[in-house]
Chains A and B, each alone.
Chain A
Amino acid sequence: KAGVTQTPRYLIKTRGQQVTLSCSPISGHRSVSWYQQTPGQGLQFLFEYFSETQRNKGNFPGRFSGRQFSNSRSEMNVSTLELGDSALYLCASSSDPQGSGSYNEQFFGPGTRLTVL
């Protein structure tokens, strides 16, 4: 079974631009979570989508948004990029077959490294 894939792997943008990152979960997984990883703040939860609906949201400004498609693929978008948005963005998928939100093991992708100049 193929793992979680994220595209692109590396991205360079300038301040003020916007960016869209993509995540394809493991086949059959309906929950997709996004995390931001920086040296200073560590791993911080951005949001989680399940069956095309945002189920949980972290403490990030509205410039960070996401969506999930009917095939469970997810995208996250960051508008008006700031230097501080430079980070590794990780996506994780889990099965949650009953849609209960109870814990199911999360499988992480390799991440997208975003550099904002």
Chain B
Amino acid sequence: AQSVTQLGSHVSVSEGALVLLRCNYSSSVPPYLFWYVQYPNQGLQLLLKYTSAATLVKGINGFEAEFKKSETSFHLTKPSAHMSDAAEYFCAAIRPSGNTPLVFGKGTRLSVIA
């Protein structure tokens, strides 16, 4: 069965520092992978997605992620954190063949310290 693991339920960084949120997947077939962001009292917004094209994916708000098959990872990074980046981030996976639901990680809450 497919699963997604996010290391660290809470990550705290200083404003201007590097943001690194970790995501590992477990699947016999490399899945499509996604990062979503959730602000308080809101739904999920797609930050970026990997669908078997380029392994380095750029998303909105300066975020990017790299798919590494050898490490079964899809870590999210941003060179310089901004106060507005404080939110909950979810990594998710889906089988490329479809007909299966998105599987989410438990989420990582990002705090940005001034």
Contacts and interface: CB of A to CB of B under 8 A. Distances in A.
A5 to B, nearest CB: 10
B33 to A, nearest CB: 11
Interface residues of B, number: 25
Interface stretch (B10-18, B57-65, B67-75, B100-108): B100-108
Interface string A30-42: 0001010000001
A42 B32 contact: no
A15 interface: no
Nearest to A113: B41
A80 interface: no
Nearest to A10: B41
Interface of B: 32, 36, 41-46, 49, 51, 90, 92, 94, 96-107
Interface of A: 4, 33, 35, 42-45, 48, 55-56, 58, 90, 92, 100-103, 105-111, 113
6 contacts: A55-B99, A102-B96, A102-B99, A103-B32, A109-B43, A110-B43
